[in-house]
Amino acid sequence: MSNLWTKRSFAWSNYSRLVVVGLVLVAALVSPARAQDDRMTPIDTPAQPDAIELGTGPLPGAKNPESWHRQYGKQFARNVTVATLTPFLPDPAKASGAAVVVAPGGGFRTLSMENEGWDVARALAERGVAAFVLKYRLNQTPADMPGFERSMREMFSATARPPRPDPERAMAGLAPQIADARAAFALIRKRSAEWHVDPRRIGMVGFSAGAMLTMATTLAGEDAKPAFIGIIYGPLAPVTVPVDAPPLFIALAADDPFFANGGYGLIDSWKTAKRPIEFHLYEQGGHGFGMYPKETTSTGWFEAFVRWIGMHGMLRPAASGGGGAN
């Protein structure tokens, strides 16, 4: 057991270097939506009657309240201080018992709640898979929209960038988000009978920063233990793969400005460890394509992901011993 935890600690340390870079690179979304849609427009916080607080507490030291804006025709949240989980449950008649925690992206400063959250979850529920959108806690940004936009511009200014933190500090900075992800898995398993979910078949899919959180949650070696994971336009730096690593699905566009030119070490890592992996490299799509309808083949990532989880038996009820699926 100690040897396993040593390997996990090494994987965690290795992945932390990836996050140090990623925290800077994905501080803003590069969306495929049309240019005239890219202005950030403040909106009222939408009603979220099904959102369940995860009980991980308020973000330490947070002063600015949660707020929302519209960009690229979709809704984004920022200054999230209390983590929630929103269930999107399939028709019980076609529920497979599998479930997916959906982690939107946004550089840990915003969350693309609609394009990379609710839209994904609804589509999964249509396929019989229970989906749960994780609204995890975020790094604080200025409360006013001009201040927020200015902070994002400064983040990408070479003269304004702070020195890179050491890996340990970077990972410590993700501790609230990892705690939120673990709490999401715990809640789904606790209510698995109510939600007709097999507690052994809960996976996680993340986008950009959400992909980083998905991988970090997996490498942490704690109690989340996703049954499968999806990394959608996330970093592909090599890691030390745990011996019990789950099947991994990756989708990335070759013209992604952040992660398409850093090599494919993560793929090699999974293959070397002889763990299941599927990789889709699309010619075009940029970063942040999510569920936006596009003419590029990157739009097909969702169908590919569904076929992949189906290949792993997630689209049909377990033959026996379904746990909470019964």
Domain ranges of the chain: 2-319
pLDDT value at residue 23: 52
pLDDT in tens, 257-290: 999 999 999 999 999 999 999 999 999 999 999 9
Q: 294 exposed, middle or buried (CB, 10 Å; 0-12, 13-18, 19+)?
A: middle
- Distance CA(4)–CA(304), nearest Å, equals 32
The token pair that represents 127 in the structure block: 């396929």
CB distance 225 to 185 below 8 Å: yes
pLDDT at 22: 54
Cβ contacts of 116 within 8 Å, gap of 6 or more: 102, 104, 105, 207, 208, 210, 232, 288, 290, 291
Which three-class secondary structure state does DSSP give residue 215?
A: helix
Question: Among all chains, which residue has been given the structure tokens 């970077």?
Answer: 170
Cα–Cα dist 282/90, whole Å? 30
Regarding the domain delimited by 2-319, which CATH topology (the fold level of the hierarchy) does it fall under?
Rossmann fold (3.40.50)
Residue 78 has φ and ψ, to the nearest 5°, of -145, 170
CA–CA dist 49, 52 (Å, integer): 8
* pLDDT on residue 154: 79
Q: Dihedrals φ, ψ of 225, to 5°? A: 50, 65
- At 322 the pLDDT is 42
- The parts of the chain modelled with pLDDT lower than 70 are 1-37, 156-172, 320-326
Per the DSSP assignment, residues forming a β-bridge with 134 are 85
Rounded Cα–Cα distance for residues 97 and 279 (Å): 25
Say whether 277 sits in a helix, a strand or coil: strand
